[in-house]
Structure 1
Amino acid sequence: MVFFLATTVTLSAQQISSPDENLTLEFELQENGVPAYQLTYKGREVIKPSSLGLELKDDEVSLVDGFSIADTVTSSFDETWEPVWGEEKEIRNQYNELEVILNQNDTDRSIVLRFRLFNDGLGFRYEFPQQENLGHFIISDEKTQFAMTGDHTAFWIPGDYDTQEYDYMESRLSEIRQHMENAVTENLSQTSFSPTGVQTSLMMKSDDGLYINLHEAALIDYSAMHLDLDDENMIFESWLTPDVKGNKAYMIAPSNTPWRTVIVSDDAREILASKMTYNLNDPIAIDDASWIKPIKYVGVWWEMITGKSSWNYTDEYSAVKLGETDFEAATPNDTHGATTENVKKYIDFASEHGFDGVLVEGWNIGWEDWFGNSKDYVFDFVTPYPDFDLEEIQKYAEGKNVKMIMHHETSSSVRNYERHLDTAYQFMKKYGYDAVKSGYVGDILPRGDNHYSQWIVNHYQYAIEKAADYEIMVNAHEAVRPTGIGRTWPNLISNESARGQEYQAFGGSKPNHVTVLPFTRLIGGPMDYTPGIFEMDISKLNPNNDSHVNSTIANQLALYVTLYSPLQMAADLPENYMRFMDAFQFIKDVGVDWDESIYLEAEPGDYVTVARKEKGTNDWFVGNVNGETPRTSKISFDFLEKGKTYVATIYSDAKDAHYKDNPQAYKIRKVVVNNRSELSQRSVPGGGYAISILEAEKSETRGIKKL
């Protein structure tokens, strides 16, 4: 259903409210013709008057002042659309819009500021109509401001042009500067820009209980936005990622910027439930998306991340040239993970336990010197090592009804990847690979460019759209964080683009990290966090690695529900799952695609509890993840269908469990529940619980206690 109404109004009508009238957006021209906006929620100020504008390179008059209002148009829109995959079967897209047409009299230029006000927040962008005096232009700075009303508590990571892989910091806005040095931890590629610069999605909480999230939507043909804080006045200003010349964006009219977004509520659960970011993206661009299938997979990955195995085939060569280095003559190092024999073990495990796919990394030649050498021609994405038999693996996987997942590490040589993309995708289809995990580790080539500049953002988009031509799903790691583009291009089935589980093998992440991610990284789209680690002591896999996974087993199970992704990995080694088969049953049972999602409890940095109904079934799954402080979670099962009886299997922390000292202590119990049932369940530090709730006949409930 779509409803659209547009009316031209008088020039004084520069205010709109959200459909539920809780939010109010007001636009004005300040002194000297500077555009500005402000936002209130239930009568409380969210964004104080904040100026808008764009600095242009080599231009005496930029798009920051000297404007007059030529016209304003208000409109309303209401539709319901169905995503290919998602947390909901249907998404309502309802907003009121204010279009402000501005003329800059001294230059005879015009721009449009478009504001869309949803029940859950505000989206706005700059638009540049076709015109004589604004054709090609370069943006040197975007001057969009977000003026805060106070010294809010923020959950933030450092502003960086090349990585989002940081642990989240929690501090007052005024304290960002003093914590920045500790917040910037080592990464293989990183470029910080300011002692008060942070990344979006930025989550904040005001002292009077407002939850505020700043982000962007529909990042297309533009550079990624960071936020730089004036910590004396508590004003954020947009800070775009530059290219090697320092330019922020190259524009051609007609065009527009991405949407700048403010999601706000007095209930943290509504931040998590917001679909505004998706709604600000264009509808699906793929005519027939029936080939896009959510999947659950295992893979030859964690053993290499922990150092138990290696990506490279041999230790003989310090340098490799594709087409010239003779790998057939090389001595294998006996640690290579992607061997035909080892991969078959994973295929057997996937087949036996009902997993859809197997990911293999390190199968293709070039890993001996893939990183850190400014090497343009790193991989060709089609040539396997001598111990990886592509055809044998293909036949074996097909015989077991398991799909193989390709891995393309680009070493951030984007030109090399683009020159090979068609051949690589054709190769994938030939051998039955319908999904690819791509990676962009290390500094970008061409040298000096950044991971989130306009040109590189366009590369990521090019790879997605090219993959769609071949009906291939993409799971991009180290790429720019998602901004709802999965609505338009749902073959972008997941991303990493944050500090994922792999860092638990690199020294660990904070135990509350997974209670922050849903409020930040997942606002823009699903995350391939790679959950399901059961062996927390990494030294048991690799004696030279003393890292520890800061999580309990119950917490790891809950991640399959709390960290949404239509592409979910059971990341640990098969032998570790065999030790805890009763807990592993939840990973086998849990869905990956949903008809309905209900956020039951939420507080950023402390806890998240979610219930989801599996698509096409009457089965529900609940996940709770907990931060540092032990607590008792209290939830109702009123989301269950009235009159029906269910058996709930509860996987919880044992009484003496603790993420550091006793992470593998858990309890499993079955209870009978209905929509009147309630649960009080304790979660330990770094812990949580997971529940599968399956509809049952009376005969199936005999001997099981009611909750």
Structure 2
Amino acid sequence: MKINLLGKILLLVALWCTGTVTSAKDYLLTSPDKTIQVKVSVTDVIKWSVIRKGETVLLPSPLSMTLISGEKLGVNPVVQKDSRKSVKETITAVVPVKNRLIPDVYNELKLQCKGGYVVHFRAYNDGAAYRFETNLPANEIEVQHETANFQLGGNYQVYWPQESDPEFQSHYEATFKDTTLASIGSQQYGYLPLLFTSGKGTKVLISEADLYDYPNLFLFGTGSSQLTSAFPKVILESKLKGNSDRNEQITRKAEYIARTSGKRTFPWRTLIVTDDKGLLETDMVYKLATPNTLSQTAWIKPGKVAWDWYNFNNVYGVDFRAGVNTDTYKYYIDFAAQYGLEYIILDEGWSAATTNLMAPNKDLNLAALMQYANSKKVGVILWALWNTLDKDIDKILDQFVKWGVKGVKVDFMARGDQYMVNYYERVAKAAAQRQLLVDLHGAYKPVGLNRKYPNVLSYEGVKGLESNKWSDIITPTHNVTLPFTRMVAGPMDYTPGAMVNTTKIGFKDVFNQPMSQGTRAHQVAMYVIYESPLQMLADSPTNYLKDPECTRFISQIPTTWDKTVALAGKSGEYVAMARKHGKNWYIGGMTNWDARDLNIPLTFLDGKAYQMEVLRDGINADRHPQDYIIETRPVKAGETIQVKMSGGGGWSAILRPVE
């Protein structure tokens, strides 16, 4: 018996040393405020689960990474060392989107595993995250697949941005379908962020952060409460379709999703677990991102922009022919200067061709225009097709600098593979070296690039106002869904500011004379609610000039925020937020097609007296949505104000301290 027992012990020791047997073990990680628990189980695979206030919102879900060379990180793991730390710091945002000072408070668990990899887990008060880190002997590895599955705690309600392209090509501009998790079949996939609501009303938002040199994560349904991970493979060959300058056909792909360094950290897989108000306040993606790498940032100037493309350059009441020409853009500059807007954008059409960004079109005297803009202290941003810029980025951006341009709007990327992720960073870095701002369109969601390169001011990746030109899907319901879904990931270039506003039955999609559903006050409130350090005024300058009171009000709302306080909200129904910039506070409220009254306590104010200027729906806004009222009255801390909104309406206020 003794010999047999000794033999068994020796066999177990040998198996343990070869890594063919693992010892099951659980690790528990708790958030600083004890509301979130992360349970990590190490058996034949590493799994994690997440609990909030006793409710399991994520059941044990596997995580692993498979390399082409055969290694399977996270499978049959052997934990050699575990370590923990607690962090309580404050991040100062270079370009503050929600908050200038961001508390970075979390507890972390690191599992160092045999085979040269580490898995990091973090627990925040509003969620959790994990990432892989490798320290492999190979200088270069090829990742075949990463398992980042999510087994939710039940058949949750979900806002699902349905996609269909088998190559994961997308402008990331789907609407968010309100459905259930079990209704998403195995052939259906969506992009991040994804928002779920548990049976108890807990909000669970899945996204990712610190994404570099690696493809975007997409999630497929299974007809159950589980989602499975998928990634675009590395593109080896592609070509443009027909005579298109931007629509790609992928003709050859690799068998791997990334070829990358063997010594690196991989993207954070993030799970924000909170309530509706918590979604409006979270900074998790920003906190998990790589810190600012730019030594000089004083030149980065956020601001508002007079934008041409939405309104089709339809200026009128002028003595020149409107279009993509010098006179029209001088008119934009005059408008911007009159209302203190920092920039204008020259969108598609300004250049000799979309494939030639080195020369303006024949109707545009760019040198004269730049001189005129400088005299008016208005910056100019130029549009660029991504693949044209990609072919000769240094030469093109150098030319932009010679012209005196302040930034570049890069468009139609429509991919989320490794090359495109690297392209985003190359653009950000090359632009920063020349002190140029960046606005990314046709883009996937923010993943923290705007923290590492704060000259990246905004991203599209949203079904925004421009869709009014060809569809009726931009409804007030859609508009009050975005703050709880897409906007949670970061800056959102929705391009608000429609001045032609209609009822549901009065709306028509007219490409060259667009209008919006909902009230004027609904549009104005977007300047407080929607986060974008480069915020557009999308309508015709003429329409703004014809309504100077509304335009004056919009022009006084800043584009960055020192502090954000969520006041009330429910995804798809309504939202109300307070934001501080300098000494002033700003309040915004928006509702879906239901008229709504909210009582807002001014508990966020200090002891000062404030003068509150309000732009709200007029008494007839339900039948004539352009009806609004501007009124002023004194308020003070502790007072409760009534926010009254028509169906499809909005409410905004600027609170200035009485000196």
Fold conserved between structures, TM > 0.5 = yes
Look up the equivalent residue of 2:495 and give its one-letter code: T
**Which of 519, 524, 540 matches 2:484?**
519
Contact 1:13 1:72 in 2 (8 A): no
Work out the CA distance in 2 between the residues paired with 1:288 and 1:83: 14
Deviations 1:465-518 (A, max 9, x none): 111111111001012221122111101111111112111222131322221222
The residue that corresponds to 1:77 in the other structure is: 87
**Which of 28, 33, 39 matches 1:15?**
28
Contact 1:338 1:362 in 2 (8 A): no
Deviations 1:234-258 (A, max 9, x none): 1112211223315322232112320
Shift of 1:590: 0.8
Work out the CA distance in 1 between the residues paired with 2:392 and 2:265: 31
The residue that corresponds to 2:553 in the other structure is: 586
- The structure with the greater share of residues assigned to strand is 2
Shift of 1:153: 1.1
1:153 aligns with 2:157: yes
The 5 Å alignment of 1:37-116 reads 37-57=48-68, 59=70, 62-63=72-73, 65-86=75-96, 87-103=98-114, 109-116=115-122
Contact 1:364 1:382 in 2 (8 A): no
Work out the CA distance in 2 between the residues paired with 1:571 and 1:548: 11
Work out the CA distance in 1 between the residues paired with 2:361 and 2:521: 38
Shift of 1:77: 1.5
Deviations 1:170-190 (A, max 9, x none): 11112334xxxxxxxxxxxxx
The 5 Å alignment of 1:674-689 reads 674-689=636-651
**Which of 195, 209, 226 matches 2:201?**
209
Look up the equivalent residue of 2:200 and give its one-letter code: D
Shift of 1:667: 2.0
Contact 1:554 1:689 in 2 (8 A): yes
Distance 1:120 1:139, change over 3 A: same
Work out the CA distance in 1 between the residues paired with 2:200 and 2:295: 47
Shift of 1:56: 3.1
Look up the equivalent residue of 2:444 and give its one-letter code: V
Q: Secondary structure at the match of 2:285?
A: helix
**Which of 254, 262, 282 matches 2:271?**
262
The 5 Å alignment of 1:375-524 reads 378-379=355-356, 381-410=357-386, 413=387, 416-440=388-412, 451-508=415-472, 509-524=474-489
Work out the CA distance in 2 between the residues paired with 1:130 and 1:56: 11
1:128 aligns with 2:147: no
The 5 Å alignment of 1:259-298 reads 259-265=268-274, 267-298=275-306
1:356 aligns with 2:342: yes
Look up the equivalent residue of 1:115 and give its one-letter code: F
Shift of 1:366: 4.5
Deviations 1:116-169 (A, max 9, x none): 1111111111111133xx553322322112111111111120144322111111
**Which of 99, 123, 137 matches 1:117?**
123
Shift of 1:579: 2.9
Shift of 1:12: 5.8
Shift of 1:282: 1.6
Q: In percent, how many aligned pairs have the same letter?
A: 28
Q: Secondary structure at the match of 2:446?
A: coil
Contact 1:217 1:258 in 2 (8 A): yes
Moved more, 516-525 or 568-577: 516-525
Contact 1:24 1:41 in 2 (8 A): yes
Shift of 1:287: 0.7
The residue that corresponds to 2:244 in the other structure is: none
Work out the CA distance in 2 between the residues paired with 1:49 and 1:422: 48
Look up the equivalent residue of 1:655 and give its one-letter code: I
**Which of 530, 535, 546 matches 2:495?**
530
Shift of 1:336: 6.9
Deviations 1:176-225 (A, max 9, x none): 34xxxxxxxxxxxxxxxx63311111111111121111000011110001
Q: Secondary structure at the match of 2:162?
A: coil
Work out the CA distance in 1 between the residues paired with 2:375 and 2:312: 27
Distance 1:501 1:542, change over 3 A: closer
Contact 1:530 1:570 in 2 (8 A): yes
Work out the CA distance in 1 between the residues paired with 2:282 and 2:569: 13
Contact 1:11 1:72 in 2 (8 A): no
Work out the CA distance in 2 between the residues paired with 1:638 and 1:662: 34
Distance 1:13 1:38, change over 3 A: closer
Moved more, 48-57 or 536-545: 536-545
Contact 1:344 1:393 in 2 (8 A): yes
Work out the CA distance in 1 between the residues paired with 2:635 and 2:24: 58
Contact 1:460 1:479 in 2 (8 A): no
Work out the CA distance in 2 between the residues paired with 1:572 and 1:56: 50
The residue that corresponds to 2:530 in the other structure is: 563
Work out the CA distance in 1 between the residues paired with 2:278 and 2:351: 47
Work out the CA distance in 2 between the residues paired with 1:176 and 1:686: 30
Work out the CA distance in 1 between the residues paired with 2:408 and 2:94: 18
**Which of 212, 226, 232 matches 1:235?**
226
The 5 Å alignment of 1:136-175 reads 136-159=140-163, 160-175=168-183
Contact 1:611 1:621 in 2 (8 A): yes
1:552 aligns with 2:519: yes
Work out the CA distance in 1 between the residues paired with 2:170 and 2:440: 14
Shift of 1:78: 1.8
Work out the CA distance in 1 between the residues paired with 2:134 and 2:658: 58
Look up the equivalent residue of 1:54 and give its one-letter code: M
Look up the equivalent residue of 1:346 and give its one-letter code: Y
Work out the CA distance in 1 between the residues paired with 2:93 and 2:24: 38
Distance 1:662 1:141, change over 3 A: farther
Q: How many residues matched?
A: 607
The residue that corresponds to 1:27 in the other structure is: 40
Contact 1:537 1:546 in 2 (8 A): no
Shift of 1:13: 7.0
Look up the equivalent residue of 1:207 and give its one-letter code: G
Deviations 1:245-298 (A, max 9, x none): 153222321123200000111x31112211111111121100111111111121
Contact 1:196 1:231 in 2 (8 A): no
Look up the equivalent residue of 2:194 and give its one-letter code: L
Shift of 1:405: 1.6
CA RMSD of aligned residues (A): 2.4
Distance 1:335 1:239, change over 3 A: farther
